[in-house]
Amino acid sequence: MKLALWQTHPRSSIASALTALREAATSAAAQGADVLITPEMFVGGYNIGPERIATHADHAAQVLDSLKSIATTQNIALVVGLTLPAHPLPHNACVVIDNTGTEVARYHKTHLFGDVDRAQFSVGAALSEVFDLAGWKVALAICYDVEFPELIRSLALRGAEVILTPTANMEPFDTINTRLVPARAEENGVYVAYCNYIGAEAQFTYNGLSCLSGPDGQDHVRAEKTEAMLFATLDRADLTRARQSQTHLQDRRPDLYGDIT
């Protein structure tokens, strides 16, 4: 599976986001990508206030139709951050649309970050499903989620081989991108794709540094703090080798951990 991680700046409207996404999908597909990943809350922006988030959630059905059209037309799967309706506030979500235009997964962010998330979103009630995409066992996380080792460990124990993570990480938290994301990959023997924004939105300055970290903890690709389209191919032989030498999942002692999974 060849991934395209689109490190780009926020768009402040649904229309501009979808136009840019169609262009990015066209470019990524032309370079052989099977899956294009966007940052967190890409369709219309992230740090835009609860009123605009609620308005965007009202258009979720039309947005999903547009995503399915883009995926089908460009013959590429999409992993897209957007808001979805919920009560009392919408969800910070991502959806996976395969290259036939079929929605194969959706996930609501389960770990809300700070006042911005809590003012705009309802918390998700369940971790991602583990689902099939392009021949791999895939699961989802969103931004702050990946900073909780229990979440990634749970997904790995349920069979995930790849964790796709739209994010909107900002200054000064560079070590999340450069240290914690590779650690989550290595300690669980999984690939972690971490696709971030660049640029500014309200008080946030996004720090880029998107990456695909391999199951050995090494970066397969890493962006700087500029706009970029990154490409990386998952290798099942690399996954097998890593899991033969890194046996953390098999060597766990859950009998000692109490309520910690």
Contacts of 37 (CB under 8 A, 6+ apart): 3, 4, 5, 6, 79, 164, 166, 193, 195
Give the number of other CB atoms < 10 A from CB of residue 15: 12
The number of helices, as runs of H, and strands, as runs of E, in the chain is: 8, 14
Which residues are identified as catalytic?
Answer: 40, 109, 143
Cβ-based neighbours of 258, under 8 Å, separated by 6 or more: none
The dihedral of CA 35, 146, 169, 246: what is its sign?
negative
Rg (CA), the chain: 17
